Copies of this chain bind each other. A is one copy, B any other.
Amino acid sequence: MTIESALVDGTGLIGTSAALALREKGVTVYLSDIDGRAVRLARELGAGREWAGEEADVAVIAVPPHLVGERLAELQKQGAARTYTDVASVKADPIADAERLGCDLTSYVPGHPLAGRERSGPAAARAELFQGRPWALCPGLRTDAEALRRARELVTLCGATAVTVGAAEHDSAVALVSHAPHLVASAMAASLQGGDDVALSLAGQGLRDVTRIAAGDPLLWQRILSGNAVAVAGVLDRIAADLAVAASALRSGDPAGVTDLLWRGVAGHGRIPGTPGCRDPAGSTGR
């Protein structure tokens, strides 16, 4: 193991969860955040000690996507770590910011753990948040091999599985598997505002599952979606069209129009790793 110390910059849900996971593996963790209360709470939860300028093996920048470039530039100026990574849900924009701000791109490995909760902040953090989850790493042409090796080690220490993918490919992938699903859940949940209390009292587990992620922080999600706007819009347009066609088929008493969507849904669901219908894409072992 070459990661003996880590700086977690941004002690929200993701940063504090990573800090807790690293602490469990015996890594020395330094914590920093512009919000002093968030650092104190993370420290009290056992996530590490307050950062006082020590150089760490790796710095995990766990701030909203639009602030990643700026924090990377600042931390590199301070010589905070040997390797830098971030956890933002979009990758092309933060990388462009880093280039524009003249960051050293050899020591920076853009990253994104596919894990989260509907609640945010350090109090919601869990050491096991990343257990068994995919964690995208998007090294560029200039990324140093040693930096990539260290980023992979970080992912392993957090219990996740590294998936190496180009930044543009990452952003188009998460538009499909994460960002569009969030807005789909939001739209389904928003329609519940029009329901009466008896209707809501009939809610079962299906509705709860479909809408669970709609409880996420709107301001954070607005930033994520804005950073991946065109790709997300493309997915949403297809889904909106499918739903409009289904509505029209139902109205005109044409069952085939609905049955087609139901069957395509079964097939698409079967492509998720770990579901019965899945052929194990990308070598996943399934669950």
B261 pairs with A186, CB closer than 8 A: yes
Chain B positions within 8 Å of A222 at CB level: 255, 258-259, 262
A213 pairs with B210, CB closer than 8 A: yes
A87 to chain B, nearest CB (A): 13
User: In the assembly, what is the distance between CA of A226 and CA of B272, in Å?
Assistant: 28
Assess whether A145 is interfacial by the CB under 8 Å rule.
no
With A183-B246, A214-B268, A240-B243 known as contacts, the answer to whether A178 contacts B202 (CB < 8 A) is yes
B114 pairs with A264, CB closer than 8 A: no
With A209-B209, A262-B222, A281-B197 known as contacts, the answer to whether A202 contacts B134 (CB < 8 A) is yes
Interface residues on A, range: 35 or more
With A198-B173, A206-B182 known as contacts, the answer to whether A246 contacts B116 (CB < 8 A) is no
A232 to chain B, nearest CB (A): 6
User: In the assembly, what is the distance between CA of A16 and CA of B13, in Å?
Assistant: 43
- Binary interface profile of A, 40-83, with partner B (CB < 8 Å = 1, else 0)? 00000000000000000000000000000000000000000000
B266 pairs with A214, CB closer than 8 A: yes
Assess whether A200 is interfacial by the CB under 8 Å rule.
yes
